[in-house]
Amino acid sequence: MNEQIVVAVDGSEASQAAVDWAATDARRRGRTLKVVHVCEQVATAETEYCEKALAAAVDRARVILPESEIASALMPGHPVETLVAESARADSIVLGSRGLGGFAGLVVGSVSLLVAGHATGPVVVVRGTDPVEHGEVVLGFDGSRPAQAAAEYAFEQARARGARLRAVYAWQAPPASPYAVGYGGYVASVFKTETAAMREALTPWREKYQDIQVIDDEVCDHPVSALIKASRTADLVVVGSRGLGGFASAVLGSVSHGVLHHVEGPVAVVRPRKG
């Protein structure tokens, strides 16, 4: 099992929030921490800035992890490619929602989206610094392989936090003519069947984590809308990533993409590991 949480920093306020989240998660789950700064520039002035930003981030992490050894690395290359490579050896990758290079109007930057879409294992995008703890982890679940990988991470997080887990299954009825006779009864029957299948698919995790209180939240709604609503009382929202390749929105899938853009707190996007 990979034991090292990797947090990417660039000196921005968002990356400072990511350091706090990663260090706290390392303390809570008994993991080691590695702070990295991917420095694309080779000019002396840029390198000096990168070194200072990295050192400041390590100092910030030490406040939360005073007794732990914290690794750090100034890494050359493209941020997305470098962090994706790091993810193969990491417990998880943590980064801020938008770094210094992003446009001010963007909620989530391109680096965060691309890393979340291509990395192996969990990628946590930290947005917001709400100090209120709700004692709940939200899992977006549809029974797929990515959702199963997300479930593993969500249950582990819930146990480490001593929190309950809310499993959200959102199902949208297919469009039909308003004149269709008996359509409402058909929809209700299908929804009942689908939700029963989702509960069954989550059974192995319930059995493995019997100490976790699980709330089944089954709604007839768009998944993004349902997860946004659930996130209002969540410390972390966890969803799976399809990881099919291509542009960021296609890689993540519409649900992961929508959740990253609209949920105000930390979001973990989990792509299944190979093997």
Percentage of the chain lying above the pLDDT 90 cut = 55
Q: Are strands 236-240 and 136-140 parallel, antiparallel or unpaired?
A: parallel
105 exposure class (CB count in 10 Å sphere: 0-12, 13-18, 19+): exposed
Query: Is the domain of 66 the same as that of 140?
Result: no
For residue range 155-194, list pLDDT tens digits in order. Answer: 999 999 999 999 999 877 655 545 554 555 666 777 788 8
The per-residue b/e assignment along 192-221, b for 16 or more CB within 10 angstroms, e otherwise, is: eeebeebbebbeebbeebeebebeebbbee
Examine the fold and report which residue of 91, 106, 126 is the final residue of a domain before the chain moves on.
Answer: 126
* pLDDT the model gives residue 203: 95
- 28 belongs to a structural domain: yes
Q: Which helix (H) or strand (E) holds 57?
A: helix 44-64
Query: Is the domain of 121 the same as that of 145?
Result: no
Query: Is the domain of 172 the same as that of 264?
Result: yes
The per-residue b/e assignment along 161-170, b for 16 or more CB within 10 angstroms, e otherwise, is: bebebbbbbb
- 54 belongs to a structural domain: yes
Average pLDDT over residues 234-258: 70
Query: Is the domain of 148 the same as that of 120?
Result: no
Q: Are strands 267-271 and 121-126 parallel, antiparallel or unpaired?
A: antiparallel
Query: Is the domain of 160 the same as that of 77?
Result: no
CA 266/CA 104 separation, integer angstroms: 19
Q: Edge-to-edge strands of the sheet including 70-76?
A: 70-76, 32-39, 4-8, 92-96, 121-126, 267-271, 236-240, 136-140, 164-170, 214-219
- Which CATH number goes with the domain that contains 206? 3.40.50.620
Contact 227, 259 (CB under 8 A): yes
Number of domains observed in the structure of the chain = 2
CA 180/CA 268 separation, integer angstroms: 41
Q: Does the structure show a pLDDT above 50 at 104?
A: no
* pLDDT the model gives residue 109: 65
* pLDDT the model gives residue 204: 95
Q: Does the structure show a pLDDT above 80 at 10?
A: yes
Query: Is the domain of 100 the same as that of 180?
Result: no
Query: Is the domain of 199 the same as that of 107?
Result: no
SS3 helix, strand, coil % of the chain, rounded to 5?
45, 20, 35
Contact 74, 51 (CB under 8 A): yes
- 157 belongs to a structural domain: yes
Query: Is the domain of 103 the same as that of 78?
Result: yes
| Structural domain boundaries, residue 158 | 136-271
| Global confidence as pTM | 0.88
For residue range 255-268, list pLDDT tens digits in order. Answer: 888 899 889 899 99
Average pLDDT, the chain: 85
Examine the fold and report which residue of 107, 126, 145 is the final residue of a domain before the chain moves on.
Answer: 126
Examine the fold and report which residue of 92, 126, 160 is the final residue of a domain before the chain moves on.
Answer: 126
- 154 belongs to a structural domain: yes
- 164 belongs to a structural domain: yes
- 10 belongs to a structural domain: yes
For residue range 44-103, list pLDDT tens digits in order. Answer: 567 888 899 999 999 999 999 999 999 999 998 888 999 999 999 999 999 998 654 443
Query: Is the domain of 208 the same as that of 175?
Result: yes
What are the distances in angstroms from CA 216 to CA 85, 155, 198, 223? 36, 14, 10, 14
CA 229/CA 139 separation, integer angstroms: 12
Average pLDDT over residues 142-165: 95
* pLDDT the model gives residue 178: 52
- 131 belongs to a structural domain: no
Query: Is the domain of 102 the same as that of 164?
Result: no
Query: Is the domain of 199 the same as that of 145?
Result: yes
Q: For residue 227, is it left (φ>0), alpha (ψ between -120 and 50) or beta?
A: alpha
